[in-house]
Structure 1
């Protein structure tokens, strides 16, 4: 009787293990990132050459599986009289302290490749600001709650 129960338990555990190994898992999803951006999420700027003007879009999301990290997606939306580029400077303050990081984006008159930065902000409330460097237009900022 005891042998039968043990054998049944082992068979059930093996079947569950085989099913679990055969199942595909969904990719990790980012946690929602509560945020408020009072000045929008687009930088309007002059490029670094040819007297060109352009726009740079920035989006923020929580890094999946990495508490305290924020992913900043920086996309040049195109430059008139391009190709041109800009250095985008990020500064932030959160529970991890005050930090900054720069990224360079480049494109012609069509949207360019998105560059993603991993910003270690820390968990809890934070403020992130972005502007072109040297400063050539208005900045954008976010008040966020980082999971």
Structure 2
């Protein structure tokens, strides 16, 4: 009987103690002009597209995760500096993220933006400025 209790406790600890992956809080947002930058590359003027997505950082109020993914470049390999700017209760800030890809999509780069809680605006443009821009209005948890 004692062995049964011990094995039940061990099973509960092993299977019940496994933490679920962190889930992001909902991030109400409105992307008024889309979330893709259409751009010419850094030096060779190759054309490409860069996708951006925003989500609330799990268990970090006031933080937004920006996921920047180059979709690929015609005439690549190529890259772009993506300039992210934001304003929220934490003030006005910027961050640069460099993306690089061949003709196929490249690696997603995730960066943590300290925006602050409440209403905020995030903007993005590829640098040098030979691209469209994107913007989001957010309510950051």
TM, length-normalised to structure 2: 0.89
Q: Which of 94, 104, 107 is matched with 1:113 structurally?
A: 107
**Which structure 2 residue ranges, 5 or more long, are not aligned?**
1-8
**Which structure 1 residue ranges, 5 or more long, are not aligned?**
1-16
Aligned residue in 1 for 2:4: none
Bigger mean CA offset, 24-33 vs 88-97? 24-33
Determine helix, strand or coil for the equivalent of 2:13. helix
Kindly report the root-mean-square deviation, in angstroms, between the aligned alpha carbons of the 2 structures: 1.9
Aligned residue in 1 for 2:89: 95
TM, length-normalised to structure 1: 0.85
Q: Which of 13, 17, 40 is matched with 1:21 structurally?
A: 13
CA drift at 1:133: 1.5
Q: Which runs of at least 4 in structure 1 moved beyond 4 Å after TM superposition? A: 17-20
CA drift at 1:20: 5.8
For these two proteins, the number of residue pairs brought into alignment is 135
Cα deviations by residue, 1:8-29 (Å, 9 ceiling, x for unpaired): xxxxxxxxx8676331221110
CA distance in 1, matches of 2:60, 2:107: 24
CA distance in 2, matches of 1:81, 1:134: 18
CA drift at 1:123: 0.4
